[in-house]
Amino acid sequence: MANGWSLLVSVIFIAAFCAVAWFASPKGENQTVWRSTLILSAWSCWLMWAITFLAQWHPLIQPQRGDLRPEYNGGPVKGESFF
Amino acid sequence: MAAGKDSLFRSADMTLTQLYVANEIGREVVSALGELGVMQFRDLNPDTTAFQRTFTQEIRRLDNVERQLNYFRQQIERNGIGMRPIYDFTNNMAAPSASEIDELADRSQSLEQRIHGLNESYETLKKRETELTEWRWVLREAGGFFDRARGQTEEIRQSIDSSDDAPLLRDVEQANGSTDAPQQQSFSVMNIGFVAGVIPRERMGAFERILWRTLRGNLYMNQSEIPDPIVDPEKNEEVHKNVFVIFAHGKEIIAKIRKISESLGASIYNVDENGELRRDQMHEVNSRLQDLSNVLGNTKRTLDAELNQIGRSLAAWMIVTKKEKGVYQTLNRFSYDPARKTLVAEAWCPTNSLGLIKSTLQDVNDRAGLSVPTIVNQIKTSKTPPTYNKTNKFTLGFQTIIDAYGTAKYTEVNPGLPSIVTFPFLFAVMFGDLGHGFIMTMAAAAMIYWEKPLQRGKQDELFGMAFYGRYIMLMMGIFSMYTGILYCDIFSKELSLFPSMWQWNFPEGYDPEKDGVITASRVEGYTYPFGLDWRWHETDNDLLFSNSYKMKLSIIMGWAHMTYNLCLSYINARHFRTPIDIWGNFIPGMIFFQSIFGYLVFCIVYKWSIDWYAMGEQPPGLLNMLIYMFLSPGTINEKLYNGQGAVQVILLLLAVVQVPILLFLKPFYLRWEHNRARAQGYRGIGENTRVSALDDDDDDEGGHSAHANGRPSVESEMDGAAMISQDLDDEHEEFEFSEVMIHQVIHTIEFCLNCVSHTASYLRLWALSLAHQQLSKVLWSMTLANAFGMGGATGIIAIFVFFTVWFFLTVAVLVVMEGTSAMLHSLRLHWVEAMSKHFIGEGVAFEPFSFQLMLEEELTELK
């Protein structure tokens, strides 16, 4: 579902969002505020997401637990998710 | 200068205007401009004291009206009468005409007299009422004494027999003994006088002691407490009092007693010893009290009605008076040209508002039917215009954060604009939790939804602050929810939105007691798409992973934030047309910063992007890499990529080379430029007047001003005629190389050291987010986790109780307290780490003459 290409896709998505935000911002004296806020928010959020994604892309350590019961095998959500 | 559209990006273009206003309509013009609220009038009579100014008389008169209105307000508050709120008026208040003001002044004068009279008579009546009440008590209690005294003649006589050194009582005995038949023996016959009165209870002890000492025991005293407190009409407070009756022998002693009691604040009342007469007195007092209370009621009703009437329009009057006073104070800043009968004013206003101002003035002129137009001149000046960032209710809070640090220089990049995002976002990196963010968002949304009623209500200090920053809170809450999802935290619990990238593989017949820790294995070719994988929650090595992740996150965020802000200094240099700031400050600074910390960020990202286990290599430690990059350049212990040694040496050299560039390029360039200008025969206009002009020290820009002065001096020579009241003592400073050099040395040292310390400072993002997460985990495990462990009826009650505790603590500690601390850290990151990269400051805030602002400031207490 998610691999290295996600980074590229997300950059394109954010760039597209910024372009839309730039042109679709309501005209008037608050246009600058709209543009700056939307675009800066988009890149801040993307940066944070990208860092989180990169950190887990090639993880160096695996989760370890000593308090699981064998019945838990597979976990409460096996394979499938909410979505 | 062609004014573009004003935006929050930089402060508005300002123009210094000169107004020529016909004397007759000066008041109307200023009042109309006050409604507009876009002009800051300069004081043209700075040498005149407040008393010598033209409109001092009017201001005094308005002060008096204001005092009267305040008196009404006090009276209204004292009598607990409701006032019509100020919000019924503010919007539709047209500027008052002169006759209205006169009428108001007269009216409040007469009203004051009336209220004063009413109050006075009310107080006199009240005093009489108190006296009568006290007298009634005295009559009642003293009557009791007399009756008792009569009944106890036997006892008295006996007590006298037993103690024969009581001369006073011997008289009583003798008197009684001689005429023993009629019980109704008069005291006067016995030559015994008495004093009756009322005294505050707490003075009773002192009173008794003093009497005893001065009269050496020659008295017989009776007292009783009045059960109801008596209201003192002057101070309007309740006092407990005692009735006393003192019997003594001889006129002189009685006179002494009277004096003592009066000096101690007792009131003495006339009581007749005859029972019949006393009864008559009692009747009389009662009927007088009756009448008095009728009159009192009437007076009170009239007073209340009057105050009610005033209260209905008092707020409007106060607004009118405040406005009028503001107008005259502004008019006092104008200078008067007696030859042409005009008022001359100078004012700063946003260039974009000039049209509005002109049309407003035209309107005023038309209304007054005056043929002489009001003239608005634009003046060219070398004065620094004030900094004006027009805000709305959304941006106001953010701009306040920036302005609290310092006023930006005129038209420099305003950090308030990016801080709309960066401030709440950095906050959210520290505060990341979906649940806590949600609570904050809801609180902010509620404050925004009920904005109007909340604004009008009384706010205490803490709530007032939160309310002022409600839009900041909203942004903080929204971003916290986002970072909460990325951290995979909701009230410290995990959030399993997507299938995990880890699965637990239990060995056959796994027993946690025996087999111990098991390690999850990766789902092949799948990375958790959004945020941290929830399988990390509650693992043994959770912190190992999240600390490494959050530390790197902080470094990258800090690098991005600082780079962004460093770029703003480039925009500033472009805007102020000082290319030397680009070549001498921005570019070397940027190279220095990027070749060390940009490289670090690159390494972090590079290390993440490489699948080290697939390559079969050991991942290098980045911290050691950075340290050895400085300690032993060129030698690589753990390889990150090929050719790493050479790259690092080049980067290090690049960084080192920037230091002398930073140090010397700008000062030497400025010196060269200065010398060239001198060689061509230009001189700063300040220089020749310097001998006589006042030495002004308001400019420590050093090199800038000398450079900048070259241009305006050319202009000002051409427009010399327009510069009427111009000042030669501003902004002109001789170029002094040593000062520029020292300034630049400080800047260089600061910049280079700060690159290191500021990057480290961003690690607070990690520290606070770690603390926040751990604290919420502890809170959960101490409260709700325990409750979930219980069963049966206890469990039900425990869950209820613990939930309350948990929720209350979550809001109080995790949202309010932690939120405040994260906010302060975010504030610091903006003020210190970010703004030091580009902020020039040194601006003067624009303070327009605006009725709206004035009323907001002054009438908050009327809420």
Closest chain A residue by Cα to residue B619: A60
Tell me the C-alpha distance between B277 and B254, whole Å. 22
Give the pLDDT of residue A48: 96
Give the HSE-up count for residue B733: Cα atoms under 13 Å, Cβ half-sphere.
16
Facing residues of B249 across strands?
Answer: B192
Tell me the C-alpha distance between B389 and B102, whole Å. 38
List Cα–Cα distances, B727 to B689, B696, B720, B722, B848, in angstroms. Answer: 11, 11, 12, 12, 22
Query: Among residues 501-560 of chain B, which lie with CB inside 8 Å of chain A?
Result: 501-504, 506, 509-512, 516-522, 525-533, 535-536, 538-542, 544-545, 548-549, 552-553, 556-557, 560
Under the banding of pLDDT at 50, 70 and 90, the label for residue B436 is very high
Under the banding of pLDDT at 50, 70 and 90, the label for residue B571 is very high
Give the pLDDT of residue B308: 87
Nearest CB to B527; choose among A32, A53, A82: A53
Give the pLDDT of residue B104: 85
Give the pLDDT of residue B209: 86
- How confident is the model over B377-394, as a mean pLDDT? 90
Under the banding of pLDDT at 50, 70 and 90, the label for residue B159 is low
- How confident is the model over B583-599, as a mean pLDDT? 95
- Sequence-distant contacts of B269-274: CB under 8 A, at least 24 apart: B269/B134, B269/B135, B269/B138, B269/B139, B269/B196, B269/B197, B269/B198, B271/B138, B271/B139, B271/B142, B271/B143, B271/B194, B271/B196, B271/B245, B273/B146, B273/B186, B273/B187, B273/B188, B273/B194, B274/B186
Give the pLDDT of residue B262: 84
Chain B within 8 Å of A9 (Cβ-Cβ)? no
| B404 pLDDT higher than 60 | yes
Q: Minimum mean pLDDT among B58-62, B84-88, B237-241, B460-464: which range?
A: B84-88
Task: Please tell me the distance in Å from A50's CA to the nearest CA on chain B.
Answer: 9
Q: What is the pLDDT of residues A43-56, one digit of tens each?
A: 999 999 999 999 99
Give the pLDDT of residue B713: 41
Chain B within 8 Å of A34 (Cβ-Cβ)? no
Give the pLDDT of residue B615: 85
Please give the single-letter amino acid code of residue B269: Y
Give the pLDDT of residue A82: 44
Query: Among residues 51-80 of chain A, which lie with CB inside 8 Å of chain B?
Result: 51-70, 72-77, 79-80
Check CB contact under 8 Å for A67 and B512: yes
pLDDT, greater one: B389 or B721: B389
Tell me the C-alpha distance between B447 and B444, whole Å. 5
| B155 pLDDT higher than 70 | no
Check CB contact under 8 Å for B560 and A47: yes
B150-159, B524-533, B549-558: range with highest mean pLDDT: B549-558
Under the banding of pLDDT at 50, 70 and 90, the label for residue A78 is very low
Q: What is the pLDDT of residues B56-66, one digit of tens each?
A: 888 898 899 98
Under the banding of pLDDT at 50, 70 and 90, the label for residue B450 is very high
Residue A34 lies in a domain: yes
Tokens encoding B571 = 């925009």
List Cα–Cα distances, B151 to B147, B156, B359, B665, in angstroms. Answer: 6, 10, 96, 114
Please give the single-letter amino acid code of residue B709: N
State the first-to-last Cα distance of chain B, in angstroms, to the nearest integer. 44
Facing residues of B247 across strands?
Answer: B194, B220
Closest chain A residue by Cα to residue B504: A74
Q: How many CB pairs under 8 A join A and B?
A: 173
A74 to chain B: which residues are within 8 Å by CB? 503-504
| B251 pLDDT higher than 70 | yes
Provide the residue ranges of all domains of chain B, joining segments of one domain with +: 14-114+302-379, 146-282, 676-738
Q: How many domains does chain A have?
A: 1
Give the HSE-up count for residue B547: Cα atoms under 13 Å, Cβ half-sphere.
7
Give the pLDDT of residue B405: 93
Chain B within 8 Å of A5 (Cβ-Cβ)? no
Chain A within 8 Å of B13 (Cβ-Cβ)? no
Range of the domain at A14: 5-58
pLDDT, greater one: B363 or B779: B779
CATH 1.10.1200.10 fits B146-282, yes or no: no
- CA dihedral over B441, B444, B447, B448, signed as positive or negative: negative
Give the pLDDT of residue B703: 40
Residue A50 lies in a domain: yes
Under the banding of pLDDT at 50, 70 and 90, the label for residue B46 is confident
A65 to chain B: which residues are within 8 Å by CB? 504, 517-518, 520, 538-540
- How confident is the model over A9-32, as a mean pLDDT? 93
Give the pLDDT of residue B137: 83
Give the pLDDT of residue A74: 53
Task: Please tell me the distance in Å from B21's CA to the nearest CA on chain A.
Answer: 31
Chain B within 8 Å of A20 (Cβ-Cβ)? no
Q: SS3 for B235?
A: coil
Q: What is the pLDDT of residues B493-519, one digit of tens each?
A: 988 889 989 988 877 777 766 767 888
Query: Among residues 342-401 of chain B, which lie with CB inside 8 Å of chain A?
Result: 390, 392, 394-395
| B142 pLDDT higher than 50 | yes
| B131 pLDDT higher than 60 | yes
- Rounded to 10 degrees, what is the CA torsion of B184, B188, B190, B196? 90
Give the pLDDT of residue B385: 92
B109-113, B349-353, B559-563, B638-642: range with highest mean pLDDT: B559-563
pLDDT, greater one: B187 or B463: B463
| B704 pLDDT higher than 60 | no
Look up tokens 């980067």; give the residue.
Answer: B651
Neighbour count for residue B732 (Cβ, 10 Å): 21
Under the banding of pLDDT at 50, 70 and 90, the label for residue B823 is very high
Tell me the C-alpha distance between B109 and B97, whole Å. 18
pLDDT, greater one: B175 or B610: B610
A29 to chain B: which residues are within 8 Å by CB? 5-7, 390
Under the banding of pLDDT at 50, 70 and 90, the label for residue B367 is confident
Give the pLDDT of residue B153: 56
Average pLDDT of chain B, as a whole number = 83
Residue A10 lies in a domain: yes
Check CB contact under 8 Å for B421 and A40: yes
Tell me the C-alpha distance between B188 and B360, whole Å. 90
